[in-house]
Amino acid sequence: MSVLHLADDGEAADLAGFLSRLLHYDRAAAVRLQASGTALAVFGRPPSFEVLAVRAVRLDKPYEHGLDVTLDVTVSAGELLDSVDEAAGTATVPAAVTGPPWAGVLPPRGGWRPEPGLPAPDALRATVAGAVAEFRSRTDALPEERRTRAELDRIGREIWSRTVAGTALPVRAVHAARTFGFLRATGAAQSGAARPGLFSSGSWLRLRTPYGSVAVRRTGLGVGGLDVSVR
CATH code assigned at 93: 3.10.150
Residue 86 lies in a domain: yes
pLDDT digits (tens, 9 = 90+) for 109-165: 889 999 999 999 999 999 999 999 999 999 999 999 999 999 999 999 999 999 999
pLDDT at residue 220, rounded to an integer: 45
Report residue 27's pLDDT band, with 50, 70 and 90 as the boundaries.
Answer: very high
Q: Which of 101, 128, 151 is the last residue of a domain?
A: 101
Report residue 62's pLDDT band, with 50, 70 and 90 as the boundaries.
Answer: low
- Structural Rg of the chain based on CA atoms: 18
Residue 144 lies in a domain: yes
Global confidence as pTM: 0.84
Regarding whether 9 and 42 lie in a shared domain, the answer is: yes
Report residue 216's pLDDT band, with 50, 70 and 90 as the boundaries.
Answer: confident
Residue 157 lies in a domain: yes
Regarding whether 165 and 61 lie in a shared domain, the answer is: no
Computed over every residue of the chain, the mean pLDDT equals: 85
Residue 165 lies in a domain: yes
Residue 158 lies in a domain: yes
Mean predicted confidence (pLDDT) in 191-200: 78
| Cβ-based neighbours of 165, under 8 Å, separated by 6 or more | 117, 118, 119, 123
Residue 35 lies in a domain: yes
Residue 152 lies in a domain: yes
Q: Which of 101, 132, 166 is the last residue of a domain?
A: 101
Domain that holds residue 86: 3-101
Report residue 94's pLDDT band, with 50, 70 and 90 as the boundaries.
Answer: very high
pLDDT at residue 16, rounded to an integer: 96
Regarding whether 165 and 143 lie in a shared domain, the answer is: yes
Residue 124 lies in a domain: yes
Mean predicted confidence (pLDDT) in 19-34: 94
Mean predicted confidence (pLDDT) in 163-178: 93
3 or 77, which is more confident? Answer: 77
First to last CA, the chain: 27
Regarding whether 140 and 79 lie in a shared domain, the answer is: no
Cα torsion at 181, 182, 186, 192 (round to 10°)? Answer: 170
Q: Which of these, 108, 58, 81, lies nearest to 227 by C-alpha position? A: 108
